[in-house]
Amino acid sequence: MHRFFVFGWLLVFSLVLGLAAAQAQPLLPPQAPPDNAPPGVRLAYWFQQAGQAFENDRVDDWVAATEQLHELRPYNQDFMTHLVLGYARQENLSKAFEMMLHMQQQGLAQDWSSYEELEPLRPHRLYGHLSDLMSEAGQPFGDFEIHSELPADLAMPEAIALDRESSRVFVGSIGNGSIVHSSDGQEWQRFAAPDSVEGLHAVFDLAIDSERGYLWVATGMVGQFAGFEEDKAGQSALLQLDLESGERLAAFAVPASALDHLLGSLVVAADGTVFAADTRNPIVFRLPPGGEQLDLFFGNQNFSSLRGLALSGDDGLLYMADYEQGIFVLATDGSNQGWKLAVPETLNEGGIDGLYWWDGHLVAIQNGISPQRVVRLKLGPDGLGVVGVAPVLAALEIFDTPTFGALDGSRLLLFSGSHWQHLDGRGKPLAEDLPTVRILEADVDSAAIMTVGEEAMRQLQGG
């Protein structure tokens, strides 16, 4: 059954005031906050409880607090791992095995060999079986080619877009705010930069409207940006550039408020409507064709960090990935209807950055779980639920936190990795050289891709 919800998406002031009020509340109340308290407050409280219990070796309290954290963040692999260890320490073997089985069925990889806490489980055959399966889940899977290698001086590439008309690939940088493009994947040329485009700062996403000749840019002022200005921190905007010249045609700033903003993901509808997700606040903005300002399309404080956006083939549904809570669906017809995407229990939706729609499927890039992977999700007829899961790429040796990509038909281009974990908060490299980022190319409709469970079903049918 699809979980249905309705939001007052256009109540801008009540939303902002609600978010500000949530941030103003004590993060660590003396007693367990009620169920209707903001999720951030509850999460902080149970984090504190779990940490104190662990430090004082209060195993039962640690497990109880971790169970609360798991309920709030059901796809978090660390919480599930801690519960396996905690149940084992409690000698509650049935619960420990149940959680291990749950993780294995979600395709998660885990090396259990170094945990002394699991000694009570090791004599049992089920432990060896699950441990072997979860080790196998960490083996590389999928066919890909290296499309191109990005220039060494392009720090923190985060945004990528493909112009089908000209076959040009565009890449945007957080580090220096530049946008480069290439038609052959070999020679990269400058397209736009902060010194030539007013208001262009760190680039977080790009979206192409080739019919109208626009390149849309999600940009913001963050500490990792080389031109960081303290007084502009937390400011973000949607820029409209000419797709041929790179000239700035228009700029649409996120409405000023007491909160920091950062537009991180874009998607463009066939009529030219642009949707933009704010990664720092659970808000999705909309810019209609010919619009003069960003309008609030969606907002709800129960979400954690909004990432990828995707539109259904008829633009009637907007899919939205929350990094901690999975994929949600919003109607775009103004009816204020939304749903949690119905998924099988065997699908872990955690850690999704890139999200794309293709031929009745969603394609998701996940880096917040192990193994890091690209998965293809077959949608049901109404688009509100997943009826099939198939890995496209997983656990590749070349993966170093893949984040985003661009999909043209079944052709997926994606970054092999990210520089986030190789830099400090001001963009300074933690080592002498930043690792090379490559663009990988894969076919999400490859004949080699098999839906999870399909092989077992064939065996049962005697095929």
**Distance of alpha carbon 247 from alpha carbon 266, whole angstroms:** 19
**What's the confidence (pLDDT) of residue 433?**
86
User: Would you state the structure tokens that stand for residue 68, as one six-digit string?
Assistant: 């609360």
CA distances from 111 to 114, 131, 137, 321, 377 (A): 7, 7, 10, 28, 27
Q: What SS3 class is residue 250?
A: strand
Task: Tell me the backbone φ, ψ of residue 384, rounded to 5 degrees.
Answer: -105, 0
What pLDDT, in 10s, does the model give residues 75-124? 999 999 999 999 999 999 999 999 999 999 999 999 999 999 999 999 99
Peptide bond into 289 cis (omega under 30): no
- Say if strands 236-242 and 352-358 run parallel, antiparallel, or are unpaired: unpaired
CA 279-109-133 angle, 5° bins:
150
Q: Please classify residue 272 by burial: count the beta carbons closer than 10 Å to its beta carbon, then call 0-12 exposed, 13-18 middle and 19+ buried.
A: middle
| CA 328 remoteness from chain centre | 12
Sign of CA dihedral 400, 402, 407, 412: positive
On average, the pLDDT of the chain sits at: 90
Give domain limits for the chain.
Answer: 23-136, 145-460
User: Which residue's structure tokens are 């850690």?
Assistant: 351
Question: Which H or E element spans position 414?
Answer: strand 411-415
User: What is the 8-class DSSP label of residue 181?
Assistant: E
- Say if strands 295-299 and 337-340 run parallel, antiparallel, or are unpaired: unpaired
At the fourth CATH level, the homologous superfamily of domain 145-460 is TolB, C-terminal domain (2.120.10.30)
CA dihedral 173, 175, 178, 182 (to 10 degrees): -40
**What's the confidence (pLDDT) of residue 389?**
94
Closest by CA to 214, choosing from 185, 250, 262, is 250
Sign of CA dihedral 417, 441, 364, 377: negative
Q: Which phi-psi region, left, alpha or beta, contains residue 199 (left: φ > 0; alpha: ψ -120 to 50)?
A: left
Closest by CA to 289, choosing from 216, 194, 197, 378, is 216
**What's the confidence (pLDDT) of residue 9?**
34
**Distance of alpha carbon 138 from alpha carbon 108, whole angstroms:** 8
**What's the confidence (pLDDT) of residue 300?**
85
Q: Which phi-psi region, left, alpha or beta, contains residue 360 (left: φ > 0; alpha: ψ -120 to 50)?
A: left
**What's the confidence (pLDDT) of residue 388?**
93
* Helical H segments across 25-76, by residue range: 39-55, 59-72
**Distance of alpha carbon 283 from alpha carbon 239, whole angstroms:** 18
Instruction: Pick out the chain residues at pLDDT < 50.
Output: 1-27, 455-463
**What's the confidence (pLDDT) of residue 3?**
42
Q: Please classify residue 23 by burial: count the beta carbons closer than 10 Å to its beta carbon, then call 0-12 exposed, 13-18 middle and 19+ buried.
A: middle
Angle between helices 39-55 and 59-72 (to 10 degrees): 160
